[in-house]
Structure 1
Amino acid sequence: MDQDEDERKLQLNELNEIRMEAYENSKFYKERTKFYHNLIVRKDFEVGQKVLLYNCRLGFMGGKLRLKWIAPFIATNVYPYGVVEIKSESTNKSFKVNGHKLEPFQSNPSLLDAIMEETSLLDLASHSP
Structure 2
Amino acid sequence: MRLTAYDNSKNYKEKVKLYHDKKLLKREFQPGQQVLLFNSRFKILQGKLKSKWSGPFIIKEVKPHGAIELVNPAADDPNKSWVVNGQRLKQYLGGEIQRLTTIIHLSDP
Shift of 1:51: 0.8
Give unpaired runs (5+ residues) of structure 2: 96-109
User: Counterparts of 1:101 and 1:30 in 2: how far apart (Å)?
Assistant: 22
User: Which of 43, 46, 66 is the matching residue for 1:61?
Assistant: 43
Amino acid in the other structure paired with 2:81: F
TM-score, structure 2 normalization:
0.57
User: Counterparts of 1:83 and 1:24 in 2: how far apart (Å)?
Assistant: 34
> Superposition RMSD on alpha carbons, in Å?
3.0
User: Counterparts of 1:65 and 1:36 in 2: how far apart (Å)?
Assistant: 33
Distance of aligned partners of 1:90 and 1:60 in 2 relative to their CA distance in 1, 3 Å threshold: closer
Alignment partner of 1:90 is 2:90: no
User: Counterparts of 2:11 and 2:3 in 1: how far apart (Å)?
Assistant: 12
Distance of aligned partners of 1:28 and 1:86 in 2 relative to their CA distance in 1, 3 Å threshold: closer
Shift of 1:61: 2.7
- The count of residues paired between Structure 1 and Structure 2 equals 90
Alignment partner of 1:25 is 2:25: no
Structure having the higher Rg? 1
Q: Deviations over 1:14-73 (max 9, x none)?
A: xxxx335424422430331232143123443211211112335xx353448111211211
Structure with the higher fraction of residues in helix conformation: 1
Report % sequence identity.
36
TM-score, structure 1 normalization:
0.51
